[in-house]
């Protein structure tokens, strides 16, 4: 009887390892997605107000995206929006990074404001 109880316990324990591994991979992908978003935020924040990369609209234009990672696992684009007065000296920049994990679409976003 004790052997049956121990066997059931070991079986339940062995099923926790794949779940833990999936969790680690998922978290690593989220971390990479946030890293790629922050990377673009820093790049855009360093640009001057007149730079074409800070023009209002989606960058890259249309449905085009930047492929990132060794296998193009992540895709990235950013949206620049003008703010209404009295905040018209600011532009809102939102960077979105997308990827797939186990067949589900995932994304991370980061937002900053660039001052004239």
Mean pLDDT by 10 residues, the chain (116 residues): 82 72 86 94 92 94 88 91 94 95 91 93
- 73 and 65 Cβ atoms separated by less than 8 Å: no
Q: How far apart are CA 72 and CA 56, in angstroms?
A: 26
Delineate the domains of the chain, giving CATH numbers in brackets: 2-115 (3.30.1300.30)
Average per-residue pLDDT for the chain: 89
Q: Which of 97, 105, 92 is nearest to 77 (CA)?
A: 97
- Residue 39 has what pLDDT? 95
User: What six digits make up the tokens of 17?
Assistant: 């390892």
- Residue 112 has what pLDDT? 95
Per-residue pLDDT tens digits for 26-41: 888 899 999 999 999 9
Length of the chain measured in residues:
116
- 35 and 102 Cβ atoms separated by less than 8 Å: no
- Residue 116 has what pLDDT? 87
User: What six digits make up the tokens of 15?
Assistant: 């099923």
Helix pair angle (2-14, 16-45), 10° resolution: 20
To the question of pTM greater than 0.95 for the whole model, the response is no
Q: Which of 115, 41, 28 is nearest to 78 (CA)?
A: 41
């Amino acid at each position: 009887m004790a052997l049956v109880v121990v066997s059931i316990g070991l079986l339940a324990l062995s099923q926790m390892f794949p779940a833990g591994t999936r969790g680690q991979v998922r978290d690593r992908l989220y971390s990479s997605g946030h890293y790629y978003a922050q990377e673009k935020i820093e790049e855009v924040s360093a640009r001057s107000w007149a730079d074409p990369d800070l023009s209002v609209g989606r960058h890259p234009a249309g449905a085009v995206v930047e492929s990132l990672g060794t296998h193009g696992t992540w895709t990235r684009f950013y949206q620049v929006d003008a703010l209404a007065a009295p905040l018209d000296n600011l532009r809102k920049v939102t960077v979105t990074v997308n990827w797939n994990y186990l067949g589900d679409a995932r994304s991370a976003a980061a937002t900053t404001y660039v001052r004239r």
